[in-house]
Structure 1
Amino acid sequence: MESSRDRGFCDQLAETLRNCVDTLFHRGSDQSQTGRVVEEEAPYCPPNSNQICPSLKVWSNSEEEKTYQLMCSTKKCSWVIPLAGNAYVTSPEGPPEEEPLENFISDCGVSNWNNGLRKMSTFFHSTRPGYVLMALRLRVPNSDGISRLRITLSHAKPPFRQIDVGNEFPASSEEADDAITIYEAEDGKQSQTTEIFVQGSKWQLAPCGKFFLPMDGYIRFDLEGISRSGPYFADVTHLIIIPESDWFTEQTFLKFISSPSDFYWGRRGPSVHLRYIPPPLTDFEYFYTELTVPDGGDVIGAYFCAAGFRGGYFGFQVNSETERRILFSIWSEWNTDNPGDIPEEYKVVLIKKGDGVIDGEFGDEGSGGQSYLIYPWIAGRTYRFLVFATKSGTEDTVYTAWFNPTGEASDWGLIASFFKPKDSTYLRDLYAFSENFIPEQGHLERKCEYGAQWVHTTDGTWIEMTTAEFTADATATAQNRMDISGGLEVESGNFFLRNCGFFSDAVSANTMFERPALGVPPDIDFSTLP
């Protein structure tokens, strides 16, 4: 049995939450004869629209922003999390060719949700445990029907102790279960779950209950559609969180993606890098490295750079369930994101390419020449990469890349060779990186290992590189995403990179690592390379 004190606390918080959100999401008002402020209905925002939904403009004017800040200062309202930047479809069962994942979560949040197999998961990062009240801003569109939704709160790593949250739950309908259930998931992570019933085509606040954030790290808020009497389960724009105590608010920071301008890169997830420390004052023409993606790390949307350098990169990626590519790209010295704007004298020109290799241009991240080979590389297998750069006259450079799937000296295959004008150089600023290029896949963890790094100097000497600095991109630096890791894999002695997946055991960026030296250089006869 719940105590009257606990029920009173939940009722009080629910009323505070309603008052808070009435202010936060007010986008235009009309004064009735009683002086009551009436909220206008938000216009419907179709999926895949480039226009930010008005419901995401949490403050309609500076006065409203001041009101929110005042509420935070008095601990009445603390965190409003937009699903558009922090939610994913995490159970994508169903025919994807008929229901693209981007149709369910757009700049407006969750919409078009008619498939009960689609689980919507929202992630945020907490710095400490504590009790909170949660609610969803939602509506059941185009219908007077009732939807039954299941809510599950879990953590990215198992808690250290049992959690007793009691039975406090201010349900949004008398039909809802008046309890939060604690259970152990299959992976051993403890979760809290409950169900609510919602109805009404106007935007509303639906209390989800009182939850316990078990410990620091990433928290996962799952939303599942159990049943519906209308065409859709719900449109959902925001998750609202209010703490139980002033102490929790003062001592806790919740990290999530709040600005619409950060939604795209935030949902893609952070990129992580290894910056190798080469020998000083040395010119080197060749860079050799080995790359292994462990079983399960080959997520769709992953690109693993094996051999990066100033002016280009070389690695492989997962494009779909049926296609994988080896990719080698060289940037033009002309600064543009549109390859069509590059003057002829600055264009990167293909010299030669291997069998089956497709060449072209790329843009949107700078521009230049690109080549790729559709190749079914396999997780758990080690692949070798070799890149070459040499000066061509006083102003230009020739870059060439080879790929070896077996390690046998006779198995080096040419990817491509490019002529790059207006930059005469050898290899510089060597690095590796891991990134995700599909926003809908940003909740899935990926990992790779780098087993050897050698450079070959212009005077014919192999030099091993054993030191690397782990770094991350602006998404991680801004703490929009904190699921970054890299360093030394103790068992294998390899460098590794790990990113996305909302794991909580992160590694701080700008950390130096050193691996054990191998001592045996690659056995490559450059004169026999294709």
Structure 2
Amino acid sequence: MKKQFLGLLLLLCSAYATSLAQSTPAILPGFTAYAAPAEEGVNISQRRGVVKWNDANTTVHFYCHISNPGSLKVILNAKADAAATVNIAVNGENKNVEVPVGSEFSDREVLKTKIKKAGFYDIAVSGVKKSGDVFADINSIKLEGSATKNIQFNPKPWRRSASVHLNYTPPAGKEVEWFYGEIKVPEGEDKVGTYFMSCGFHRGYFGMQVNSPTERRIIFSVWDAGGEPETRDNVKYEDQVRLLAKGDSVVASGFGGEGTGGHSHWLYNWKAGNTYKFLMHSVPEGSHTTYTAYFFVPEHNEWKLIASFRAPKDGKYMGHLYSFLENFSFENGNLHRKGFFGNHWIKTPQGEWYPLNTAKFTNDATARANDRLDYGGGADGAWFYLWTSGFIPANAQRGDMFEHTPNTTPPVINLPKF
């Protein structure tokens, strides 16, 4: 009898623990939200969440991934300066709710819904009417119910999506004097705040960027020695990368904030749908190496010098070859972006060309922390591809190997004479 009682007690405790686990609320902070069609008429503050929301055409979105179908209750934690109503929509259901008026954030239960399948869900908050300055200042969206078990969402104010990489391995024993690659960005995938990097190596990176609706750049940078993370003024002279040359209209300077080093960029209105060519050159000289980047300008049918930097405490050819796709803007870290990377080759100091037909997929700390689950890559014909964001399921995992149709014809390079 005692054993039966003990077994019943353990069963009840287990059921109670399971119930607690299932009903643990998930709190999606206001600072993780995104605004659409753009972050205008609202501000997403890292400290205060959703504030200054006064535009009825702007919708605020919170995203999560639900892996355990079940019941879900949505609670709005917000305040307004005067009577206001917002609409909250999720899982095909929506409901209007009056926002608490006052100086303190308060909860308002909005709706209950039944999640029938696992996947990403968008909790969309839109303005209905207001009598004051704002529709709502939103501190958080609280979710309760069995569907919150093992729920995933980004709990941090870092609203960029995960960065994804292709890592290439040259043939064993071959030194890399030249590194060639191409990029093609599909139409519509060239979102503002995206860097498509073709030719990366152990000291730098070279690719193209979308900086604003009206500005695009070709960017080449080389890191200093010494490991200073933020401020170049802290880097010793003997550890600093030095600019040796730059192309016409190229801007060159130092940089900090992501390590430090020498930066160069050329304003160039590259277009989605076109293929662009990149070429890196390395020349070791004692304990230094000179790195030079060239970009092929299709309108002129010629290679353009971007810049040449001399890197201290190096003295070797290029290693750790890679490409990457990065979303560097916070405001639109919810928007999908994709790029194709292909026809990568290396050339040795002996003049031998070798294709890079295989690549290892990796990602950054955002992905490794499971803050974002929407990323991937693969091979498609003669191209590799990388994508990030959009809140769709990942199609690749860290360490996956990709192989595309073999490159067969080395590039023909006719560089300008100086």
Q: Per-residue displacement from partner, 1:165-222 (whole Å, max 9, x unpaired)?
A: xxxxxxxxxxxxxxxxxxxxxxxxxx32222223321322111111233422211110
One of 96, 107, 120 as aligned partner of 1:195: 96
One of 84, 87, 90 as aligned partner of 1:153: 90
Alignment TM-score, normalising by the size of structure 2? 0.91
Match in the other structure for 2:6: none
**Structure with greater proportional helix content:** 1
Please tell me whether residue 228 in structure 1 is matched to residue 120 in structure 2.
Answer: no
Partner Cα distance (1:309, 1:116) in 2: 47
Please tell me whether residue 77 in structure 1 is matched to residue 24 in structure 2.
Answer: yes
Partner Cα distance (1:418, 1:500) in 2: 34
Partner Cα distance (2:367, 2:246) in 1: 37
Match in the other structure for 1:456: 347
Q: CA deviation at 1:235?
A: 1.2
Partner Cα distance (1:72, 1:415) in 2: 61
**Pairs within 5 Å for 1:39-438:** 73=20, 75-85=22-32, 87-92=33-38, 103-141=43-81, 143=82, 145=83, 147-154=84-91, 191-201=92-102, 202-243=104-145, 245=146, 248=147, 252-258=149-155, 262-264=156-158, 267-336=159-228, 337-392=230-285, 394-406=286-298, 410-438=301-329
Overall identity of the aligned pairs, in %: 35
Match in the other structure for 2:11: none
Alignment TM-score, normalising by the size of structure 1? 0.72
Q: Which moved more, 1:454-463 or 1:223-232?
A: 223-232
Distance 1:342 1:474, change over 3 A: same
Partner Cα distance (2:45, 2:210) in 1: 22
Count of residues paired in the alignment:
401
Match in the other structure for 2:356: 465
Counterpart of 2:398 in 1: which secondary structure? coil
Partner Cα distance (2:417, 2:157) in 1: 45
- Residue type of the partner of 1:78? P
- Residue type of the partner of 1:354? G
- Residue type of the partner of 2:143? I
**Structure with greater proportional strand content:** 2
Counterpart of 1:508 in 2: which secondary structure? coil
* 1:71–1:78 contact (8 Å) kept in structure 2: no
Partner Cα distance (2:118, 2:275) in 1: 36
Partner Cα distance (2:58, 2:310) in 1: 48
Counterpart of 2:189 in 1: which secondary structure? coil
Match in the other structure for 1:508: 397
One of 439, 444, 462 as aligned partner of 2:335: 444
Distance 1:303 1:495, change over 3 A: same
One of 390, 394, 406 as aligned partner of 1:517: 406
Q: CA deviation at 1:406?
A: 2.5
Partner Cα distance (2:316, 2:109) in 1: 62
What is the root-mean-square deviation of aligned Cα atoms in Å? 2.0
* 1:92–1:117 contact (8 Å) kept in structure 2: no
Q: Per-residue displacement from partner, 1:285-330 (whole Å, max 9, x unpaired)?
A: 0000000111011100001111000000000111111100100000
- Residue type of the partner of 1:134? V
